[in-house]
């Protein structure tokens, strides 16, 4: 059960999200209202559309590392660590054919002198390798990214990178969102024109803004567009600027 503090925090976050949306809407309407009130023969207004989607593809990477006095010992230890990692992944449903292994990265370690500088004396080697998975079952991948550090209990030095989540149906969604955003702009224009005793005429021009793919809920935007990869739940947002004739 959520504490009062958590509930209050959630309500505050939701209030911020809704408030920001209302502020944007008010700005859009006010800007167009000036055109209508001035008796101009056209009105320029922005339309907005949003669709909440779930990521359908995920990618995750993790890295295991060994240290040894010699390169030969290091490679033996790395092979042992690799076997443990692949065994763990197989137990989670990821056989070796689904796993991509990077080349082995080798770093020579040198003795540190009392003054903090490095000497030419080699004290050992550090070897590491990265494992990468791609999966359409994003819930399973998310779970793996959090549980894989259990390998530490098996004496494997392992680091799990944050998974990345993608929505592959974006291109197919763009036309629907642009259409919905244009209809939204027309509805706004009609509401403003009606209040001023005017009518909305034909569409004169339309300009597409950048698409935003943000986490959901989120008020993040960027002039160059956003593509969030950190969250499974996403909001795809479209904005169009349209100009209608006013009769």
| Residue 157 sits in the same domain as residue 175 | no
pLDDT in tens, 73-86: 999 999 999 999 99
What's the predicted TM-score (pTM) here?
A: 0.76
- Contact in structure between 227 and 214 (CB atoms under 8 Å): no
Distance CA 80, CA 78 (A): 5
**Which residue, 143, 164, 185, sits at the end of a domain?**
164
| Residue 173 sits in the same domain as residue 111 | no
Give the range of the structural domain holding residue 85, as residue numbers without chain letter. 57-164
Tell whether the model's pLDDT for residue 119 goes beyond 60. Answer: yes
User: Percent of the chain having pLDDT more than 70?
Assistant: 84
Domain total of the chain = 2
**Average pLDDT value for residue range 68-77:** 97
| Residue 183 sits in the same domain as residue 131 | no
- Contact in structure between 37 and 49 (CB atoms under 8 Å): no
pLDDT in tens, 189-229: 999 888 878 888 888 998 999 999 999 988 887 878 899 99
**Which residue, 135, 164, 193, sits at the end of a domain?**
164
| Residue 124 sits in the same domain as residue 33 | no
User: ω into residue 217 within 30 of 0, thus cis?
Assistant: yes
Return the closest-CA partner of residue 203 out of 37, 42, 34, 25. 42
Range in 2-16, 29-43, 104-118, 211-225 with the lowest mean pLDDT: 2-16
**Which residue, 164, 194, 216, sits at the end of a domain?**
164
């Amino acid at each position: 059960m959520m504490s009062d503090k958590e509930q209050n925090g959630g309500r505050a976050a939701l209030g911020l999200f809704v408030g920001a949306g209302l502020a944007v809407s008010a700005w859009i309407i006010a800007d167009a209202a000036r055109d209508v009130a001035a008796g101009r023969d056209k009105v320029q207004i922005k339309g907005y559309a949003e669709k909440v989607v779930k990521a359908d593809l995920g990618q995750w990477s993790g890295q295991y590392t060994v240290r040894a006095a010699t390169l030969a010992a290091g490679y033996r230890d790395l092979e042992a660590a690799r076997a443990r990692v692949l065994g763990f992944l197989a137990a989670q449903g990821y056989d070796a054919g689904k796993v991509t292994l990077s080349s082995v990265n080798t770093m020579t370690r040198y003795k540190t002198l009392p003054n903090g500088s490095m000497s030419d004396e080699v004290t050992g080697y550090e070897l590491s390798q990265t494992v990468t998975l791609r999966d359409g079952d994003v819930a399973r991948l998310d779970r793996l990214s959090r549980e894989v550090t259990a390998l530490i209990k098996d004496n494997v030095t392992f680091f799990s990178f944050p998974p990345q989540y993608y929505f592959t149906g974006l291109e197919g969604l763009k036309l629907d969102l642009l259409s919905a955003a244009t209809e939204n702009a027309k509805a706004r224009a009609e509401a403003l024109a009606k209040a001023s005793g005017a009518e909305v005429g034909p569409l004169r021009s339309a300009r597409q803004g950048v698409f935003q793919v943000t986490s959901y809920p989120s008020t993040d935007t960027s002039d160059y567009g956003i593509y969030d990869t950190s969250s499974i739940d996403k909001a795809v947002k479209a904005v169009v600027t349209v100009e209608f004739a006013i009769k």
